[in-house]
Amino acid sequence: MPFRIGADVGGTFTDVVLLDDDSTKICATKVLTTPEQPDEAIVQGVVELLEAQELDGNALSHIIHGTTLFTNALIERKGAKTALITTKGFRDSIEIGREHRYDMYDLHMQKPKSLAPRYLRFELDERVLADGSVLRPLEGDDVHQLVGKLKQEGVEAVAVCLIHSYANDAHEKRVGTILAQALPDLAVSLSHEIVPEIREYDRTSTTLANVYVKPIAGRYLNRLQSQLGDTAGFDKSLFVMQSNGGLCEAADAAASPILCVESGPAAGGLAAAYYGKLLGHSDLLSFDMGGTTAKACVIVDSEPLVANDFEVDRQYQFKKGSGLPVKVPVIEMIEIGTGGGSIAEVDAMKRLNVGPHSAGAVPGPVAYGRGGDRPTVTDADLRLGYLDPEFFLGGTMRLDLERSREAIHDKIGAPLGLDEMAAAWGIHQIANENMASAARIHAIERGKDVRKFPIFAFGGAGPVHAFGVAQILRAPSIIYPLNAGVMSAIGFMTAPLSLQYSRSFPTLLDTLDIAGVNALLKEMEKQGREKLEKTIPAEDVGFRRFADIRYRKQGYEVRTVLPDGPLTDESAAVIRKNFEAAYREIYGHTMNAPIEIISWRVIAHGPNPVLNLPTQSEEAGATADSALKSRRAIYLPKHQEMREVPVYDRYQLPAGVRFKGPVIIEERESTAVINGDAEIRVDAFNNLIVDIAQE
Amino acid sequence: MDQITFDILWGRLIATVNEQAAGLIRSSFTSIVREAGDLSAGVFDKRGRMVAQAVTGTPGHINSMATGMIHFLERFPIETMRPGDVFITNDPWMTASQLNDITIMTPVFKGGEAIAFFANCCHALDIGGRGLSADSRSVYEEGLQIPVMKLHDAGRPVEAIFELLAANVRTPEEVLGDIHSQIVGNEIGVTQLLGFLDEFGLPDIEELSEEIIQRSEDAMRARIEALPDGTYRYALPIDGFGEPITLKAEIEINGSDLTVNFEAPPSVPMGINVTLNYTRAYTTYGIKCAISPDVPNNEGSFRPVAVTAPEGSLLNTSFPSAVGGRHLVGHFLPSAVMGALAEIVPDRVMAPGFDGLWDTHIAGTRRGTGETFSYTWFSAGGTGAMKTQDGWSATAYPSGIAGVPAEVIEFLAPIVVHRRELRTDSGGAGEFRGGLGQTMEIEVLSDEPFLFSGLYERTEKPAPGLAGGHDAPVGRLHTNNDVRLQPKISCLVPSTTIVTLEIPGGGGFGDPRARAKESILNDVRNGYVSNDMAREVYGCDADVE
């Protein structure tokens, strides 16, 4: 069956995309998100697309879903009433954390609040040591006693995180069994199942975050599946996008929702990688700018960079350390506090600052006329003519230019002695500078240099700012994909099924227990194979295997590729070579020290799905004339004044057309602003490609 | 230069030093540099004035750097420098007050002329001598001293210095590796700076630096000007070594000038003496936290603030005093400063907290194998409360380091951590409560006695409360078998001993009777405060189950 659907639930809109693999047709719809019952908007979108194509729900091979629902529940602290069960003496690990401040100077800094308050953290008098041996056995009676307390407090979810459970999971398993029998409705997560890795704070934090949203996730995914069946007649597999760029089945997502919290951004990274491959750019900087933040993702060799951990709910200016640590693999993004709603202000040094404070959706930019009185990036973009007050969000919202001008004058222009246009241009430029610097520093931290990488621009404000950011980064070209507004839903379509497993088994490389490791890897592969074979043919199941390795006693590990097949005596040398290459890539050198392997990972995956984008044949001598909507004055930095440029309708530009900047190209969700010299063309996939004149 | 271009250039300059720091951190061999960002990096103009600094780790490195560059220029005047030169020093009196802290400086050449400097300071894993301890009687015992010297001469490494370094440190690979990372970090800064000077057609950063420094100075002066003129005093007692020490701070505010005068006892023949630049570093850090957290660090923001301490005293020690453990005194200076500021800006200061990290070092043999081991870690107590918020529990301040998980301690050493929990009632009572300290219970899996050395403060002198807030209970150190341990003296301990550290909390702020009932009930419900304390000190009669 050639039809599949991707559905991405965002804060404002739910994007649903139908893909017909035979005719390579993409149909997309945007439905207002229904925050109380997010499944309603999805079902509505699915039905709408099926009806438009005169299809039956059974014509679909599967539906892929991504949602911010779990993340929002964590951020808004709207999850279940959650308790923690841990080893005697350790109920405060989650609160003690890293004993660290994430900001050097702010005495008013707030630390993230634990998902389980201290009075709901219970201890068991048991103890496993670092080598997995048992110092004090677990008494089943102690667990039974806790059952009463959990009931009494009305606890809905319990995280079980015992010390060194990654080395010996017997006690955690037993606690799990007793709880399942005594309290069958209780949501339980065992830490060794979620993150079987050393470091109690990170493991506890991840397990708590998982179980905190587990009841919500279970209820939601169940309802979605049955609604899709009842209303849309769909009874095939529902897959959920995970943060690492792979798919899992809805049942797996319900058990481990924490694996899916960054699904939207991850899909954006995947989509960027896919387009890059399509257009022959294996290295790419994906740039997604929205209302409150911008996200950048570095793609090297057609793969987005992956990290082993991230944070949810960063409390403070998106600062590292200010959120809840979550130790699961994720497509790595840098999130920058610069978006359309970012507020511009003059600071104590009389500098013009943009972000990270945001006017959000309410009151929003001054131009929204909803009570905002502090100028934002959107206000500046409007003043500069980059946005059309009558065509914002495809004309669904009118912007008030006069209000923006007044706020820019009063709050920025007057205090700095600038005319209001110069102030607006200043806001636009500083926003671009912030994003370019953050992306560059992020890349340097990872040993990459993103200057001269082509930029893949999407998100509501991405196309408005990409040209400026590209000039700062000296990017040779920018790709503005068609359907930028539904990029995540398209990214879903390129994701393979993927299940990940990890085991902590610390060992020195020199004394590697080959048989032991093989058994471990084989066990993980078997688990993955059994699960995947329920959905896909056995011969399609593949494995990628990694180990987290470091030099002895170092604090952090480097993800290293393991050789395929069973390990042999020769494998140690290959692992060393792979580790040294990976280490050099990140740190620029290697060391002469013993090598220590901490954890072992297996990713069981299905085949990469084929996604064929619709193409048009490029017409020789095509012109943009028929796409000309109007001409409007926009600010051109080269002339330091507003001048008229053509405004094109993106949807009317024929494939193969070439023209020159400066120019404005409008589509429903965004506006590509090219305010300087550039060669612009539309390729066969209807992507807008801008080649920037290099000085 | 127009306003917006200036703002962009200032932003670029800050990005440049952040890139310098990121490049250094990425390639560092030392985990404390990589994970805690324990380093500083900055760019200086022709006159050696610091213009921009990366946002990194600990105040001791960051703030002592601003005054360090001038010493390089005195020894090697700018006109004598050649492209490819790199300079080095670890002189405690010129830089971060400890031989382990090595500063590397690289001049930037454009058109054959030195136009600016990049410098960074990093903590070296080892520098020879006795190793990091307070036990030395003079700086000669503390390791290798490196005066201001040329490390690269016109692009050529001065091999003699590298050989000498390698021969004098216990971990030559890491130490030389980190020095290499420091050189690379500066090189990244140089490349980025030259790139943006070209892009904007600027000959150097002089015009930029003048304006940045002026604006930062103006901003800092405006903050000081807003404070009432006068003299404000505070005396902060700490345990000290052998006898208690009182750090007396006197803050004079006169228009837009702020002077901090310290009184302190004379230097002592052990490694806890502090050089004046380190005293200045932690003093200006405290001031910045209180009145100017948003003003960037550069020559201008330091200018309006003067710091003095009697020559030869503990806080302005003279060569060749031992200084290896200068943080054991220096970390208390921000609290001394804030105590004095409390009189005029009570809403912007923190009551004194535990302040000094509890530094535990254990060495011995592993049970069964007899293999020797040695392991050190730092633990944090509670910080002081503020006028509108409780202190942070188990959080390092003023140090910027991060702690180690118990599982990692146990994995790396034959140690069992039986308990690591917040200490009920350890936060000083107040309308806002001090942060709680933590209790750690430690056993060593060994068949033989092990060496236990702690550097623990506030076991005698509590962290004081402010504005009617109560002192935090002192820290305690005890064992299960009547082995008596001293907080600052190494001791050989029988292997069956379980050592308990009760790390202190921070002082309270305001009258505990004024604490919101809801907060008291929440504290009791969660066991941060006991029922008894709630009743007797907070005057709350409701018992919570």
- The label of the residue with tokens 């599982």 reads B407
Lowest mean per-residue pLDDT among A344-353, A580-589, B86-95, B439-448: A580-589
Contact status of B420 with chain A (Cβ, < 8 Å): yes
Mutate: best of A92, A94, A95, A99, partner B, most B CBs <10 A: A99
Beta-bridge partners for A605: A498, A542
CA distance B382 to B397: 9
* Closest-CA distance of chain A to residue B518, Å: 15
Tokens of A11: 């804060």
Q: Please, what is the average pLDDT of chain A?
A: 91
Q: Choosing among B5, B7, B18, B444, which should be mutated to test the A contact, i.e. which has the most A CBs within 10 A?
A: B7
Is B402 in contact with A89 (Cβ distance < 8 A)? no
Distant-in-sequence, close-in-space partners of B77: CB < 8 Å, separation ≥ 6: none
A255: pLDDT strictly greater than 60: yes
Average pLDDT over residues A356-382: 91
- In this structure, the number of other CB atoms found within 10 A of the CB of residue B63 comes to 24
Closest CA to A373 of A426, A411, A424: A411
Subunit contact B23:A444, Cβ cutoff 8 A: yes
Q: Distance between CA A57 and CA A72 in Å, rounded?
A: 30
Nearest-angstrom CA–CA distance, A484 and A287: 11
How far is Cα A115 from Cα A117, in angstroms, rounded to an integer?
6
Residues 149-178 of chain B with CB under 8 A from chain A are 173-174, 177
Chain A partners of B421 at a C-beta cutoff of 8 Å? Answer: 89-92
A187-190, strands of its sheet edge to edge: A121-124, A82-87, A157-161, A187-190
Query: How big is the CA angle at B530 (ends B529 and B536), to the nearest 5 degrees?
Result: 100
Q: What percent of chain B has pLDDT over 70?
A: 98
Give the predicted TM-score (pTM) of the model.
0.92
Name the residue among A351, A352, A553 with its Cβ closest to that of B412.
Answer: A553
Mean pLDDT of A78-92: 97
Q: Name the least confident of A119-133, A504-518, B436-450, B491-505.
A: A504-518
* Mean pLDDT value across residues A386-397: 83
| Contact at CB, A349 and B219, closer than 8 angstroms | yes
ipTM above 0.95, yes or no: no
DSSP state string for B310-372:
-TTBTTS--TTB--TTTHHHHTTHHHHHHHHHTTT-GGG-B-----SPEEEEEEEE-TTT--E
Residue A135 Cα distances to A126, A138, A174, A506, angstroms: 8, 10, 16, 19
Name B442's bridge partners. B417, B499
Which residue(s) pair with B251 in the sheet? Answer: B232, B260
Task: Give the range with max mean pLDDT: A17-21, A578-582, B509-513.
Answer: B509-513
Disruptive mutation site among A104, A122, A125, A163 for chain B (greatest number of B CBs within 10 Å)? A104
Which residue type sits at A415? Answer: P
Q: pLDDT tens for residues B200-241?
A: 999 999 999 999 999 999 999 999 999 999 999 999 999 998
- Beta carbons of B22 and A441 less than 8 Å apart: yes
Surface-to-core class of residue A304, CB atoms within 10 Å of its CB (0-12 exposed, 13-18 middle, 19+ buried): buried
* Interface A:B, Cβ pairs < 8 A: 192
Using the beta-carbon criterion (under 8 Å), do A164 and B410 form an inter-chain contact?
yes
Write the pLDDT tens digit of every residue in A201-221.
999 999 999 999 999 999 999
Nearest CA to CA, how far is A205 from chain B (Å)? 13
Residues of B in contact with A588 (CB under 8 A): 26-27, 181, 184
Q: Which of B12, B173, B289 sits opposite A105 (nearest CB)?
A: B289
Considering only CB atoms, A591 lies closest to which of B7, B29, B527, namely: B29
More confident residue, B490 or A483: B490
Identify all chain B residues contacting A554, using CB atoms and an 8 Å cutoff.
31
pLDDT tens digits for range A517-547: 999 999 999 999 998 888 788 999 999 999 9
**B498 in contact with A, Cβ within 8 Å:** no
Put simply, whether B371 touches A (Cβ < 8 Å) is no
Smallest Cβ distance to A96: which of B295, B348, B420?
B420
Residues whose CB falls within 8 Å of the CB of residue B226, separated by 6 or more in sequence, listed in order: none
Range A418-429 burial, b when 16+ CB lie within 10 A, else e: bebbbbbbbbbb
Hey, are the CB atoms on B188 and A351 less than 8 Å from each other? no
Give the nearest chain A residue to B300 (CA atoms): A349
Chain B hits for A348, CB-CB cut-off 8 Å, are 219, 222-223, 292, 294-295
Q: What is the pLDDT of residue B376?
A: 85
Q: What share of chain B is helix, strand, coil (3-state, %, to 5)?
A: 30, 25, 45
Quick check: B395 contacting A, CB < 8 Å?
A: yes
Distance from CA of A266 to the nearest CA of B (A): 25
* H or E element in which residue A491 lies: helix A487-492
When CB atoms are compared, the residue of B19, B181, B411 closest to A506 is: B411
Nearest to A555 among B12, B34, B416 (CB): B34
- Contact B397/A348, CB-based, under 8 Å? no
Find which of A88, A105, A347 to mutate to test the B interface (most B CBs within 10 Å of its CB): A105
Q: What is the pLDDT of residue A48?
A: 93
Chain B positions touching A469 (Cβ under 8 A) are none
DSSP string, B139-190: GGGG-----SEEEEETTEE-HHHHHHHHHH-S-HHHHHHHHHHHHHHHHHHH
Within its chain, how far is the Cα of B274 from the centroid? 13
What are the pLDDT digits (tens) for A419-435? 999 999 999 999 999 99
Query: Has residue B506 got a pLDDT over 60?
Result: yes
Residue B523 to residue B432: CA distance in whole angstroms: 11
Cβ contact, residue pair B4, A445, below 8 Å: no
- Output the pLDDT for position A253: 94
- For the beta carbon of residue B240, count every other beta carbon within 10 angstroms: 20
Q: What pLDDT does residue A331 have? A: 92
Give the number of other CB atoms < 10 A from CB of residue B490: 15
Yes or no, beta carbons of A591 and B406 under 8 Å apart: no
Name the residue of chain A whose CA is nearest to B292's CA: A105
How many angstroms separate the CA atoms of B409 and A555, rounded? 11
B288 touches chain A (CB under 8 A): yes
B398 interfaces chain A, CB cutoff of 8 Å: no
How confident is the model at residue B488, as a pLDDT?
84
Q: Give the chain A residue nearest B413 (alpha carbons).
A: A130
pLDDT 10s digits, B359-383: 999 999 999 999 999 888 899 999 9
Contacts of B288 in chain A (CB under 8 A): 105
Partner residue opposite A100 with nearest CB, options B10, B293, B402: B402
pLDDT score for A612? 80
* pLDDT, tens digit (0-9, with 9 covering 90-100), for B44-66: 999 999 999 987 767 888 778 88
Q: Read off the tokens for A676.
A: 């300087």
- The average pLDDT across B312-339 equals 96
Q: Provide the chain B residues 299-358 that lie in CB contact (below 8 A) with chain A.
A: 348-350
Cβ-based contacts of B57 with chain A (< 8 Å): 104
B395/A101 CB distance under 8 A: yes
Residues of A in contact with B52 (CB under 8 A): none
Q: Do A96 and B393 touch (CB under 8 A)?
A: yes
- Which residue in B has a C-alpha nearest to residue A553's C-alpha? B412
The b-or-e profile of B28-52 (16+ CB within 10 A means b, else e) is bbbbbbbbbbbbbbbbbbbebbbbb
B394·A105 Cβ contact <8 A? no
